[in-house]
Structure 1
Amino acid sequence: MKYKSIILILSIFILFSIASVSAGEVDDKIMMSDENPEIESTPIENDLKTTDDNQVLSKANDDKLESMKDNEVIGDDSDSNTSATFEDLRNEIGPGGIITLTHKLYTAGPSDYPIDITWENSVINGNGAVLDLNNTVDTAFSLRHKNITMKNLTIKNGNYGSEESGALIYVYYPDAKILDCNFINNRRAYGAIIIPEDSDNSVVTNCTFINNTAGKQLAGAINTLARNIVVTNCYFSENSGHECNDIYSEAYSVTADTCIFKDVGEIYNVEVVPPTVNANDFITVNNSGEKLTFDLKTNSGMSVENGNISISVYNKNNDSLIGEYSCLSGEGWTVNLPAGFYYAILNTEYAGFEAINRTITVIPNIGYYINVTPVTTSSKTVNLTAKSNIPTDIIGGKLVFILPNGDEINGTYDSKDTWWTMHTFEDYKTYEINATYTNFKMATVNSATITVEKANSTIYLDDIVLDYPESETVTVSAEGATSITAKIDGKPIIVVDTFTIQISDLDAGNYTLAVTTIPDETHLSVTKTVTITVNKASVKIIAFDLELKLDDKSKVNYALEPEDTTGLINFISDNPEVANVASDGNITALSAGTANITITFKGNKNYEKTTKTIKVKVNKVNSTLIIPSQELEYKPSLNITVDATGATGIITKIDGEDTKTDGFTIEIPVDAGTYTLTVTTIPDKNHNPVTKTANITVNKVNTIIGANDLELAFGEKTKLIYLLVPEYAEGNITFSSSNPEVANVSTIGEVTAVSVGTANITITFEGNKNYEKTNKTIKIKVDKANSTISIGPSVVDYGNSLNVTADTTGAKGITAKIDGENAKVDGFTIEIPVLDAGIHTLTVTTIPEENYNAVTENATITVRKVNSTLTVTDITFDYKTKGIATVTFTGATGVKATVINQGQANVTVNGTNITVSNLNAGKYTLQVTTIAEDNYNPITKTASITVNKLKTTLNAKSIATVYNVNK
């Protein structure tokens, strides 16, 4: 929390002093008039900068001062974890250099002595640390070279030795800088800082001196014999000395710039220079939150951001006090006053500062605006106007027009809410005009564009109408132009003699003629468009009627006038079943009768559409019939087709006998031989009938038998598959074998493989009156057949043997192996010896007969494990002893045992003995399981365990005593 009690007390003191000023004194400082009241103000310093090295301490409670740099609370001890000794401080600084301290608290002791800084240009940055001298060490630092800087350090509790001891910082050389340091509760002969002669041009800036005492003489804070010493923006409170309290100067060369002295008799031979406050007369809107700002600077030009400003506000009309206010210079004061007229007396607590007056005008908050009026004109001299509701009669000032280049033009107040000025622009173009108000910045400004443009030139031209292929010369009338350009449908055309254009070579249609002026200096170019209409030309068709025979072709003979007319011609028949006309004008006579052909010139972009109709007559012709002599091959259903035109059907006879027809197809119901065919057409409406004859020869059909060689196995039967071509051939089929002892064939074509070897089978078609005889011989190969063997899987228990019998065909015996080893066979029976438990493979192979091949089959023999055997004796023993059970077993390598649900029991197996112990008295169950051999399954059995309780014993000794022995 920030404590500012000292500043507040000083502010209240100053305010009471101001309040006591007489009305006459106030009148001396304030000049007022009814129309434009003004308050005297001091000159204002502008554009002063601040730097990081010139940060300012807020002058607050003597115990706690806040630094604007790091918010360090002066006087508070830091965390003990960051504490160090004075000797640590000496080691960190050494002889000097650019040093930043690393601890927050350094504490001195009785044996410590001053730290000498001997390197030129050293900078010792305390980094906000506190040096507690702990009432020891007479001098903390001796600056023993030029241009040494000490900054950001607090030194306190320097009360060591006699009053003859030195200062906290002893400056031996010129150009020293003591910056942003605090000196608190110190007692020294020469105060906190001593600057002897020859240490000229040293500065003390942004430092605080509280409760420092010069034990011997001079001042409690700063003592100097040097020249040109500057103390800037420092705070002094409760310091004391023999000559003065705060600053003592022997050489009259000390300047105290912007310092606060809270003590009486604070300085000696010191020039006090107050700060400057740059604050303007202030105009604001009620409840806008706008701040009155203060630019507080030291005399040297350093900005002071947290200097306390006291503000006494009075009513301008009756000088009554409105209120007392304060703020920090860097924060500004929010003017929260009712609408009205005020003046403020501004003061600070800095030594030598004289109060200043400023006017404050608060106007109602109604939303103020400046609206620049947009203008479009052909004159370069323009009347600029703007509307504004800013109360000029109350706040004074002027509306200023701002040109695009930043130049400002004062406006003239013409009538209510209107400002104006005249301005001549250099060029024809658009300008963005802004505005502002000289002493009021709370208005919303709406800029506007001023467009200065040339006047349009003028074109006089009417629409144009032509008949294709006419042309025309057009002269254009124009004002404000030196010549023209022209385009027809966007394409430039030649301009003759400045304003004359030639319109020619245009197809029929509508065109846009665009004429554009080339303007003189005072006009703009304009473009005018008119319509050019070119009408189409008329066309005539010349053509004559036609007479044609059926199927004749002819082209329509026509001509166009004018002769050079070009374009598409279309033809259409009103009766295309009689006379059809193609798109190229070719006519086809399709049927006897009459048709009208319409010739249409479809027109084009330059010529009108037109039509002409002619008559076409079509006469009948003889039908046609083509019957060449026929030599045919016999089929059960045989027919021929004749070619005829102009006929709807035909009438036919074979050797004078009527025969059936289907359309133009004639049925030939005869066997192989030679015949005469007579055909007469049945004409359609457009043709006459005709009759023609032809010879027909029907030949026998050649036949072919298709069949493939066969390969059979001994004993196999199959029926021959063959194909007689043609499929419709009818007749007997016979079969014969060249070697029936190998392959025999039956009358129906079934072949039997009798023995191994080869035979030829002949298939014969006998033929008849319509089909030729044919045969086909195929080869039959008979191969050996595979013998067969059937043997299933077997299952046997370990220790047993068995016999397995195989069922076979085509075999005279068998051989066998078990898991690859030969097995004993008796005929077709295999002896299976005793095998280990598991799955074994039995492989059996036939010994084939003469017409058979050997085969091999596999089967599985599964030998199942048998259970091992186990006997266990019951156990009985006494508590805290052990018991032994005896086991016997077969098919096992040993046993394992446990007492059921008794994990604490000790069970030991040794061969056939099981020892049990560690059981309480009671009944239990012993569970024993065999550890089976490979061919056996484990088995588990149980036995009872009885643990007997032990008998208790009691021993007692005789006791002898004397009655009432203690009396």
Structure 2
Amino acid sequence: MENKINAGYGSTITLENDYEYEESGYSSGIEITQDITIDGKGHTIDAKGQTRIFDVEAGKVTLKNITFKNGMQNFFFGGGAILWKSLDGIITNCTFINNYAPSGGAIRLEAWDNTISDCTFIRNTANQGGAINLNTTNYASISNCVFVNNDIYSVQGDGCKINNNIFMSCSIGFDFTRNYNIDNNWFGNNASNYTYKPNEFCNNWLFLNATTDPNTVSVSNTADIIFKLYAYNSTSGNISKYDNAPFKNLNLTITATNGNIDKNIAKLGETIKYTASSVGTGNVSAKVENVEYTIGLDIIPIETKLILNSTDTIIDSISTVGINVTDINNNPLSGVVKLTIKDNKGNEYNTTVTVKTGITTYIYPADKTNISKIVNITGFYLGNDTLGYVDSPVAETKFRVDKLNATVNLVVNNYTIRNFSVNITVTGKNTDRIVENGSLIIYANREKIDEINITDGKAENILLNITKIGNYELSVAYSGNNVFNENNTFSKNVTAIKISTIISANNIITTYNTDKYLEITLLDSEKNPLNNATLSVDLNGAKKYTTYKNGQIKIALGSLVPKTYTAKVSFAGNDIYSPYSTSFKVVVEKATPTITAKTKIFKFEDKTKKYTITLKNNKGIVMKNTKVTLTINGKTYTATTNTNGVATFKFNKLNKKGTYTASITYSGDKYYNKLIKKAKIKIKAPAWKTVAKGSKNKAIVKKIQKTLKNNGYYLKYNGRYLKIDGIFQKYTQIAVKHFQKANKLKTTGKVDYKTAKKLKII
């Protein structure tokens, strides 16, 4: 901002944004030394309590439309926001808030012919002149300004004019031996203390007053209230009008009692509309800062009119009267009306009616009425909570009371026998009146079947004693009461029918050979079960069943061959209940048996190896004489279960050690699913002992001789063919050595484990 000012001398510069103090190394403020106009455009300069804002040393300077905040100067010569040493300066439409200096908290003037106008000073502080210190200045002009909680001070200036300003909680301190003019300032005086002298040297000052037009207003009507400043001359004692234009921006806070106002904030001279709400005294107050003034009005009741309307003859034991209350201008009112009711038989009845805005209908109650009489009603208006008690001219009307005709209507709820029920209503003919009481006699084909009482014009869900199907003429006779005539004209033709039925069950998916049932329930239309009734069910053949408790039957499904069935169910009906037929889907799926096949370990030496499995159905019962197969090492074996459900397989060609996977298969049939079971079978390696010359184990020796011969050894010796005789002697030993040598084994002539393994006899 300092750069902008230095570059703008001799012209007008505008502030396009707010400014705040930044570290600059000095606290005397921005120095202005030439002609310049600074237009703040409503922006704020905030010194943050660190420095003075402007030091006006020379030049013709104008400052306008700027808010100065938190300026601070600790030097004796002060000027918290501005120190002004130049002539012919102008400060206008500016606001000074929370500035501080020992002298001139907001402004310290030290030059002549400067003007301050239309400014606001709020909570600025100093030892001398919290708002302005007019130090050595002469001919300064301060006008149209508002001072709140700060003051003006001067002891050396001369010829200063301080006029048309507002001082709230502050003062003007001068050496009044000099030439000062402080006329027409407002120091907070109002019409109740306007003669109080705000300053020893002040002869003319302003005070707040108000006018009301009219001074007296009736409830709901309006008065115009205006708050304005007036001038008072203490020398002559005269009060004169004052042009409030200098304070056009001053806002008054408006409040009211015993009525409503059209605005809560108003300007001086602005009209405030006050509408009275209740009889008594109404007050309207205006407040600014710590100054408040209240003007009072007298509120009086409004004049009213009361109108009662009815026809001369009302054929109704409960007659209606229209009540209308208005003011003298025919504007509708609410409130309370007192009625006095007399008939020609000497009876008198008093009541009050709360009337809403507009016409309110009063219904003359039946318990106060005798038939064939003349009724006179007199009324007068008592007012309401707002108006208070208001007497009004008496209004009067009359009518004659006769009985009403009644209309009977019957609606059948249920046409089925044993449950035949009706609703009956009795209403006033050509009226909204309710037939509150009376008795009804009900006939079926002209025979009385019931007699009942009605309440509030109706009898509901009346169960009639009709037990056979067929056509009936139902008629109803109403006895009448003290309000309504009797009525014997209603009749209606109806047909009683059988009670409908329903058969319910669920579609079922089950498995063969399980304890599953098809549960079927027979109910009537009211969901009541029908016990001891006969149902015909066609499920794999027709059969009849009798329902038991809860109207149910149960059909076992476990023995049905797996497939999809349609269960056709029917009830033939009887004298009371209607027939019913339906069908349900039953799906029986194949069962899955179980195969128990355990891991088995065989010895290598076992010539015949036996392996057993157990086959059971889905209930865990053994399956006898059933064919199963077992596949192992590429070969398939077949066996049939015995009476214990056990099948035995014999292996005679499984001669190599190792672990084998056996697949046991049951192929299934029309009742059971196919099933495959896997099992592990192990062949243990033989426990081998070295065989040497002279061995007694002929079987092993034969096996060795045979294997040697198959491999080209132990064929003949000295032209003689050698025999496989199981005798381990010289020729067998020689053949073993040749085999060992050829296969790079240790040549011992003995068949040890390595030689036997190489011969593949183990």
Larger radius of gyration: 1
Higher strand share: 1
